[in-house]
Structure 1
Amino acid sequence: MDFTFNEAQTAIGDLAANIFAQRSGIDRVKAVEASDERIDRDLWRELAQAGLVGIALPDEFGGGAMGFIELCVVLEQQGRCVAPVPLWETALAAAAIAQFGTAEQQRMFVAPAAAGEIFLTVGIEEFGPHDPTEPTMSAREDATGSWTLHGTKAVVPSAHVAAGVVVSAVTAAGTGLFLVDPADPAVHVQNNETTTRAIAANMTFDAAPAQLLAGGDAVNWLVDRVEVALAALQVGVGAGAVEQAVTYLNGREQFGRPLATFQAVSHQLADCYIDLEAMRVTLWQAAWMLTNGAAPGTAVLVAKWWATDAGQRVVHRTQHVHGGIGVDTDYPVHRHLLWGKQIAASLGGSSADLARLGAQLALGAAS
């Protein structure tokens, strides 16, 4: 399997890297973190104008008509700069509506999302240990064919600015994806600050009206893409942290020579390199399979586990080699630590990933 990017993918990565590097400097990130929304709307508009928000959406809705790989290329660059915009949330919610929604839903949400006019998000995480492909929040259909949601979703990112939320729920027939208005009176939103200083919400649905997008395998479709998108973001977070560590260690001298020349220090950066390469190869394998319609099998969970487990090692090591300055919560590398920990905890940690992976392997061995 060849993971070499083609010319278009390379150009997309270069464009994204340039925009994020120019618009997500440390002073700008600090200013956004101090704002009420915690979202950089100026950066969001520039990403939309460059066609990066809708890069993977169909061209009939103003998207770039590229694939999931191209979205992951952009997400990696976002992670490098820890840029505070709800990119994966909006892109994947819009992709779900484009894939499963009605023409009216697509008109109302997909085209505006691609243009950067609205934010969207997804709610697939719940409290307690659970498999995100097996939601416990319920959806009930009445005699008229209308649906209502009952239950709670946890840590829904950027729900405070979202025009719509795509949520997973269990139904009498299995599971399904539903589109819900977060401003509906039957939706109770409790906003909280996350580890990354962003805003996420615990959302309680008290017979909240919702529109069914799709049943069947739709929940798995979305969960797979969210997990791989988070892995792409984590690769960028780790790569950005390593770049900062290399710059610091080459410039900081002790005992008359740069810290980077000390064997104990260089070994830690070498371990980071190995972890990042493992994260990359598992990420692009999973992204390639999802893009090309291949059954992902265990590839998604393998990528998620590497992003969770190795991603935390990378951000911890890069902070550690900074010494005391790395503990300063205002220092740039500390933001990479916070992002790395937040991503690693999303949709379950490494133990939960291994449990799900083991269950998949056991099921395959038994069949």
Structure 2
Amino acid sequence: MDFSLGEELEELRNLAREIFTDHATPERLRTVETSRTRVDDKLWADLSAAGLLAAPLPEDAGGAGLGLPGLCVLLEEQGRRVAPVPLWTAALGALALAAHGTAGQRAALLPAAADGSARITLALEEFAPADPCTPWTTAVAEGDGWRITGTKAVVPSASGADHVLVTAATHAGTGLFLVRRDAPGTTWTSAETTTYDLAAHLDLDDAPAEAVGAPGTGVVEWIDGHARTALAAVQLGVAQGAVRYAADHLSTREQFGRPLATFQAVQHQLADCVIEVDAMRVTLWQAVTALADGEDTEQAVLVAKWWASEGGLNVVHRVQHVHGGIGVDTDYPVHRHFLWGKQMSTTLGGAAGDLARLGDLLANGTVTS
């Protein structure tokens, strides 16, 4: 199968790479990491001005209609530079509304999502052992709306979001719900993360909400599959950025009078990294293609997420190792890739969880060769 990017996606990638490279310098990252919001607002504004935030959205919502493939191209470039902007949550939240929201929800929220003036975040995770597709949080219908009760864990970039998409169980099955960040019955508790993102736990106590699509119709499975694929795209970029740092370091650093890159043991480490990056790329685009074509995607998504979790973590570990002592210096750029790789590998469950779900598919006879 040919996973090469078409002309539109190539142009999108080149523009995104230029903007992320210009803005997400190590000096700028240090400044943002100690700021009040931990978000690079200037970079976010420039992404908006270039039309990149709108690019994945449908044309009738002010976008370029590039969908999940366009979003994954952007996320890969963000991951290369570990750029501190809430792209995967905000853009995926907007895509969810574009795909499943009511006409009123789309009209009210998508224009602001497209220009970056308002952001949506995702509340998909709960404290273990709850699974994103089988939440303990519950929603009860009340008139034309819903009331939600429960707790969501580590909601990404919560402080700057205007709305949050929450998964909850109902009598008709699991559903996706839109909640205002400051709605009555919402309580936020700060939870700083490995990547310095200001996340938060969300407690919901009979909070008012609107359904995004009908509960029990597969909307939660849609957001879960798209979220895992988006995370795999970020992790692919993180791994590629880390390997680039390693190659630059090893080609200039000398020991015993010759570059470290000439030592066979080091070459083996980097060769393993390249193999895992290639596997991450192939499985990511297999999942993206399956989702875009509307195929039975759970297997492809889980394989991509497993490679992102397992392979991505292996890569950042190896890269930190071949840097020697400076690899653990928290002020050295490669350390950020390690932190991002570590967090991405456990978001929405780690590699063991992905394998467990794949095992269930195998046991049920639904895995294809």
Same fold (TM over 0.5): yes
Q: Note the 1:120-131 alignment, pairs <5 A.
A: 120-131=120-131
Q: Is 1:268 the counterpart of 2:305 in the alignment?
A: no
SS at match of 2:274: helix
Kindly provide the CA deviation profile for residues 138-167 of structure 1, in whole angstroms up to 9, marking residues without a partner as x.
00113x243111100001001111111011
Unaligned runs of 5+ in 1: none
SS at match of 1:345: coil
> Would you identify which runs of 4 or more consecutive aligned residues in structure 1 move more than 4 Å?
none
| 1:289-300 paired onto structure 2 within 5 Å | 289-300=290-301
User: Which amino acid in structure 2 is aligned with residue 116 of structure 1?
Assistant: G
Once the two structures are superposed, the pairs formed by residues 308-323 of structure 1 within 5 Å of their partners are 308-323=309-324
1:58-97 equivalences under 5 Å are 58-97=58-97
The C-alpha deviation readout for 1:281-333, integer Å capped at 9, x for no partner, is 00000011111222214000000000000110000000000000001011100
> What is residue 54 of structure 1 aligned with on the other side?
54
Q: Which residue of 2 aligns with 1:9?
A: 9
Q: Which residue of 2 aligns with 1:180?
A: 179
Tell me the equivalent position of 1:141: 141
CA contact (8 A) 2:241 2:337 kept: yes
Listed as ranges, the matches of 1:1-367 within 5 Å are: 1-142=1-142, 144-214=143-213, 215=215, 216-364=217-365
Amino acid at match of 1:295: D
Looking at structure 1, the residues matched to 110 and 366 of structure 2 have their Cα atoms a distance apart, in angstroms, of: 40
The count of aligned residue pairs is: 366
Counterparts of 1:118 and 1:145, CA distance in 2: 25
Conserved 8 A contact 2:225-2:298: no
Instruction: Report the 3-state secondary structure (helix = DSSP H, G, I; strand = E; otherwise coil) of the residue aligned with 2:133.
Output: coil
- Give me the whole-angstrom Cα distance separating, in 2, the residues matched to 1:135 and 1:54: 30
Cα RMSD after superposing both structures: 1.3
Secondary structure at the counterpart of residue 95 of structure 1: helix
How far apart are the structure 2 equivalents of 1:146 and 1:289? 33
Q: Is the 8 A contact 2:150 2:204 kept in 1?
A: yes
- Secondary structure class of the residue paired with 1:364: coil
CA drift at 1:366: 10
* Counterpart-to-counterpart distance in 2, 1:102 and 1:365: 33
Structure 2 residue ranges without an equivalent (≥5): none
SS of aligned partner of 1:298? helix
**TM-score (structure 1 length as normaliser):** 0.98
Distance 1:49 1:21 in 2: 16
Quote the Cα distance in structure 2 between the aligned partners of 1:301 and 1:86: 23
Aligned counterparts of 1:284 and 1:50: Cα–Cα separation in 2 = 25
Per-residue CA deviations over 1:215-269 (Å, capped at 9, x if unaligned) read 2100000000000000000000000000000000111001000001000111000
Letter in structure 1 aligned against 2:338: L
